[in-house]
Amino acid sequence: MALFGTDGVRGLANGPLTADLALTLAQATAVVLGQGRIAEARKASGKRLTAVVARDPRISGHFLSAAVEAGLASSGVDVLDAGTLPTPAAAFLIADIDADFGVMISASHNPAEDNGIKIFARGGVKLPDDVEQRIEEAMAGPKLQPTGAEVGRVTRFSDAEDRYAMHLLASLPHRLDGIHVVLDCAHGAASGVSPETFRNAGAKVTVIGADPDGLNINDGVGSTHLDKLAGEVIRVGADVGIAHDGDADRCLAVDAEGNVIDGDQIMAILAVAMKERGSLKDDTLVATVMSNLGLHMAMKEHGIALRQTAVGDRYVLEEMNAGGFALGGEQSGHVIMSEFATTGDGVLTGLHLVAEMARQKKSIAELASVMTVYPQVLINVKGVDKDRVADDEHLQASVREVEAELADSGRVLLRKSGTEPLVRVMVEAADADSAHSYAERLASVVKERLSL
């Protein structure tokens, strides 16, 4: 089984994800990412390899980051320990100081007992699959073992948070004066930097979920649990609520009445605003196949092309990088603004979303009305031969029938799971009853035709 998943190495901390594994992974990373033309040129000129290491507040992050730093330093890499910071902050800092690579210790929106190790290459970009494979193979090979003055140093990255906060503020097209924001920091990595930055940008800020104790990260708070945020927005009469996840690479919102504003709606707001400013490269937005049909319709209405990718922010990033596009993301709240970030950045996204409220003097609900959210129904059909989806003509004929009946008022998507004998049936329609009816109809055909 491959060590790397869709977003680094992740698992139960001190279960599969041990200090030994973290140390060995760091040593292998030094071997693989310490090679190449730029790295060799640095070493030839007497400069040392440098890596940035950061973590979210979960308790296991202490021993895992210590193990990663030990593995890097023992391989001759100088480590700058940035402490507790969001994942996008780590990515930014790698690029900002021209480090050779960096490591983030986080399991994102997962519960506290899990953790993960995300590795970024030079420039703060995620690793391609082939480099992850080389690192995994290097774990079983020889390691770098310098001695004496050649071993790495571990020092505190003392101004890491300030650098990131200044970068966020400098990106804003408009201050946030006059807007009351409730921030839910998920008891995670944004608990310090997000409230401070929103206040410095001019917003009135009420904060929840910003008291991390190492065990409460994502526990009933954050972007996967929006009820508390919605309730607090209504209680204090705020204009908008912004929710991060544990490592703050996501952003979701709620309006003044507690209604959820998802990633598709956030992208629609930002895309239209960026087109008006002339900063939306080729008037194009990148989103996954799971984005709502309403996003497609809204972008078409505003003369914005929508590029689709497979599900996963890494595929969105690949498409954005290939075309040099400025904006992309997922319904889940991973939003990538490539002018300012190399990965999804929940704090950056939230700031720019609220900046549009202030600039246009409109509520978040008014801004979100640029897009009509179509009812979307997802049914997981288990115990089926997922690899026969495309080959079963009867099933494909059933899909075509539903698509014909929906015409331009709906959409059908069948996706096979990457890890289970399961097919996901997704239907969007103009009304919820139709979406449910069509989804159940197709799910029954999938079960009938593909059952194991």
- 341-353 pLDDT, tens digit per residue, is 999 999 999 999 9
Task: Say which residue the tokens 């041990």 belong to.
Answer: 18
Binding site annotation covers 392?
A: no
pLDDT given at position 41: 76
At residue 132, the pLDDT reads 95
Burial 240-279 (b: 16+ CB within 10 A, else e): bbbbbbbbbbbbbbbbbebebbbbbbbbbbbbbbbbeeee
Query: Residues, the chain, total?
Result: 452
The answer on whether 345 is annotated among ligand-binding residues is no
Q: What pLDDT does residue 1 have?
A: 61
Domain topology for 9-158:
Alpha-D-Glucose-1,6-Bisphosphate; Chain A, domain 3 (3.40.120)
CATH 3.30.310.50 domain extents, the chain: 376-450
Q: Does the annotation place 245 within a ligand binding site?
A: yes
Q: Which two tokens stand for residue 434?
A: 């139709």
**Exposed / middle / buried, residue 82 (Cβ in 10 Å: 0-12, 13-18, 19+):** buried
What is the rounded CA–CA span in Å between residue 189 and residue 82?
12
- Nearest residue to 78 via CA among 28, 30, 32: 30
Burial of 143 (0-12, 13-18, 19+ CB in 10 A): middle
Quick one: pLDDT at residue 263? 97
Give the span between the Cα atoms of 186 and 197, in whole angstroms: 16
Residue 230, SS3 per DSSP: helix
Tokens of 304: 């914005």
- Scored b (16 or more CB within 10 A) or e, 380-391 reads ebeebbbeebee
> Do residues 100 and 51 lie in contact, with contact meaning Cβ atoms separated by under 8 Å?
yes
Domain 376-450 has CATH 3.40.50.720: no
Respond yes or no: is residue 108 known to be catalytic.
yes
Task: Enumerate the CATH 3.40.120.10 domain ranges in the chain, comma separated.
Answer: 9-158, 163-368
**C-beta neighbour count of 305 within 10 angstroms:** 13
Structure token digits, residue 353 = 């979303």
249 is in an annotated binding site: yes
Q: Which strand (E) or helix (H) includes residue 120?
A: strand 114-121
CATH H-level, domain 163-368: superfamily: Alpha-D-Glucose-1,6-Bisphosphate, subunit A, domain 3 (3.40.120.10)
Our CA angle for 23, 12, 74, nearest 5°, is 5
Element (H, E) at 327: strand 327-329
360/131 Cα distance (integer angstroms): 44
At position 375, the amino acid (one-letter code) is P
**Catalytic residue of the set 60, 65, 75, 108:** 108
Count of beta carbons in the 10 Å neighbourhood of residue 78:
18
Q: How far is residue 433 CA from its own chain's centroid?
A: 32
List, in order, residues 6 or more apart from 448 with CB less than 8 Å away.
none
pLDDT by 10-residue block (mean), the chain, 452 residues: 84 97 98 81 82 98 98 97 98 97 96 97 93 96 94 97 98 97 98 98 98 97 96 98 97 98 98 97 96 95 96 90 97 96 97 98 98 93 92 93 91 85 92 93 94 85
